[in-house]
Amino acid sequence: MTVTSTRLHGVAGAPGLALGPAYVLRADEEPVTADQVVASPDAALEMQRWRAARQQVEAALRRLAERARTSVGPAEAEIFEAQALMAADPTLEGQLSAAVADGGSAEQATRAAIAGFAAQFGEIKDVYLRQRADDVQEVGRALLRALAGRTPLGLAQVPQGAILCATELAAGALVMLDRSTLAGIALGTGGVTSHIAILARALNIPAVLGLGDFVAQVNDGEIIGVDGTRGDVILDPAGEELTGFHRAVTAYAQERAELESMAGLPATTPDGLHVDLWANVGGLDDVAPALAAGAEGVGLFRTEFLITGRQTLPSEDEQTDIYRRVLEAMGRRTVVIRTFDIGGDKDVPALGLRHEANPFLGYRAIRIGLDHPELLQVQLRAILRAARGGYSVWIMLPMVARVEEVRRVRAVLDSIREPSDQQVRLGIMVETPAAALIAATLAPEVDFFSIGTNDLTQYTLAADRTDERLADIYEPFHPSVLRLIEMTARAAETAGIPCGVCGEMAGDPRATALLIGSGVGELSMSAGSLGVIRREVRRTPRPAAIGLTQLALALSTADEVLAHVEAFRATLRG
């Protein structure tokens, strides 16, 4: 076998497939890294150079903000408005003029001042503010480019349909490009939460980031394939590899166009049953993609990111702040906030949890919360505070196995809530077989159920979902799991409370009919699955789904269930 292509793996920054000629942004188009040595800089001249550069940068960033406002959205425009203010900042200018008066060049002074601010921001405990250190760095790079006589945002003309390859890219550079121009992005740096990733997702440009030192391997103009869904890049594919990738790009574009054309349509079955399609989010950055995909609410807001890997617990203020930002961003749609689901595979150094032989059956989630009022009470208070002002917030408890746990949390909640907080609902994740089996007992005690199918499957079949040797046992379509789901939904219906699903099954189109047929009314999933599930709901009549579900519950194996599901879906597709 002759290997003609190189495959690289990076971070899946923005989903989608693209194939096109590489346009390589080389390091020599980037600002000089060595300080220009000036024998004895003339302070007045250096300051004059700096002011000219700063004006250029500020003007470019303001134009960029305008452009972002019309082509991307107001939230993205604010990134650049804040950057323009940073460039024009009087404190920055003060530091510059002091450093230049001391004999530094404008470049040296800029570098030092920017490093100082970035370090200062980096120390702030608030995670969002800490990320603003990146903005400061970006402004610094723009200033250095302008000082070197280059265009501040550092991007030349990119040919139509090209894949932009670079070690790093300023977020602003991306917005300035005509979005119809750029087919894809491959970058050496950047993570899932970087500005570039967020913008690329907003602009629907497939992007693979964090590829390291790959630019040296890419020749300008050679064909390169980008799989932003998986995080793969293929350099110079040929023969079957090339035609295969090309077919995949075409199929992806067709599928995308079909799903996009449906994004504004209601998720309603042909017989008129509306199914709420909600999104699972892990922070503020997930909200915009969820809304763009037509999410009607957040069915699972994971809050663990606030706490895992930290030495100190997040304060009530910090939490309130972050919850409120997500609530605001969702524009008053319902947001289900799950209390800290820690322990198991998510360690929290601040709690000094001891190692367990069997962590998933151990000390985790609500079990820890009930023992640590400094954790649970603070979080509940923060949620209540964030919800004030008429937000629709549901609090969801993970890992409930016994009714006492719900009662204890409700007592805590009642002791801290004010009369105006009554609109905040309290519900549970049904993810232990125990909770599903006593669903009829739990239902009158809570305001909603949300079935966590991942843990429910792992606990029901006693199969660790992270152990690949057990992959064929860990099977959410096993009749045992389906029966527990149906029991739970039926108990919710009897008690008159909503029942949703927020595990992987919610985003799996093979499960849609079975969940509708069980009586599940909300499906919550990652934003990327909303389109596929919307289409599936719209072609699944409820009476037929109930028939399929009743049949499936009586089957013997998961394989039988899946065979019936596939036959059923084939008839729906016509």
Partner 1 sequence: MHTKKITVTQPEGLHARPAAQFVQLANRFQSTVKVRHNGREANGKSIMAVMSLGASAGAEVELDVQGKDSEQACAELTTFLGSGVVR
Q: Which is closer to partner 1, CB of 42 or CB of 317?
A: 317
CB 548 within 8 A of CB 538: no
In whole angstroms, what separates CA 282 from the centre of its chain?
6
CB 342 within 8 A of CB 348: yes
Q: Which is closer to partner 1, CB of 45 or CB of 85?
A: 85
CB of 228 to partner 1, least distance (A): 27
> Distances in Å between the alpha carbon of 409 and those of 397, 398, 402, 427, 439?
9, 12, 12, 10, 17
Task: Count the alpha carbons within 13 Å of 280 in the hemisphere toward its beta carbon.
Answer: 19
* C-alpha–C-alpha distance, residues 523 and 472, integer Å: 25
Quick check: is 274 catalytic? no
Candidate list 195, 355, 478, 564, residue with the active-site label: 195
Nearest to 223 by CA among 189, 184, 260: 184
The residue to which tokens 């499960």 are assigned:
511
CB of 325 to partner 1, least distance (A): 6
CB of 255 to partner 1, least distance (A): 36
Q: Which is closer to partner 1, CB of 63 or CB of 402?
A: 63
CB of 172 to partner 1, least distance (A): 16
CB of 43 to partner 1, least distance (A): 22
CB 80 within 8 A of CB 63: no
Q: Which is closer to partner 1, CB of 42 or CB of 78?
A: 78
Joined tokens for residue 116: 């100082």
Pairing of strands 17-25, 223-227: antiparallel
In whole angstroms, what separates CA 143 from the centre of its chain?
31
Nearest to 430 by CA among 398, 394, 461: 398
Q: Which is closer to partner 1, CB of 110 or CB of 320?
A: 320
* C-alpha–C-alpha distance, residues 228 and 224, integer Å: 13
Q: Which is closer to partner 1, CB of 320 or CB of 432?
A: 320
Joined tokens for residue 292: 């763009």
Q: Which is closer to partner 1, CB of 204 or CB of 377?
A: 377
CB of 51 to partner 1, least distance (A): 17
Quick check: is 478 catalytic? no
> Distances in Å between the alpha carbon of 52 and those of 49, 60, 113, 266, 364?
5, 12, 17, 53, 58
Candidate list 165, 478, 499, 502, residue with the active-site label: 502
Helix 74-87 × helix 127-147 angle, to 10°: 60
CB of 295 to partner 1, least distance (A): 21
The 3-state DSSP class for residue 299 equals: strand
Contact footprint for partner 1 (CB under 8 A): 78, 81-82, 85-86, 89-92, 117, 120-121, 124-126, 128-129, 132, 135-136, 317-318, 320-321, 324-325, 328, 386, 389
Annotated catalytic residues are 195, 502
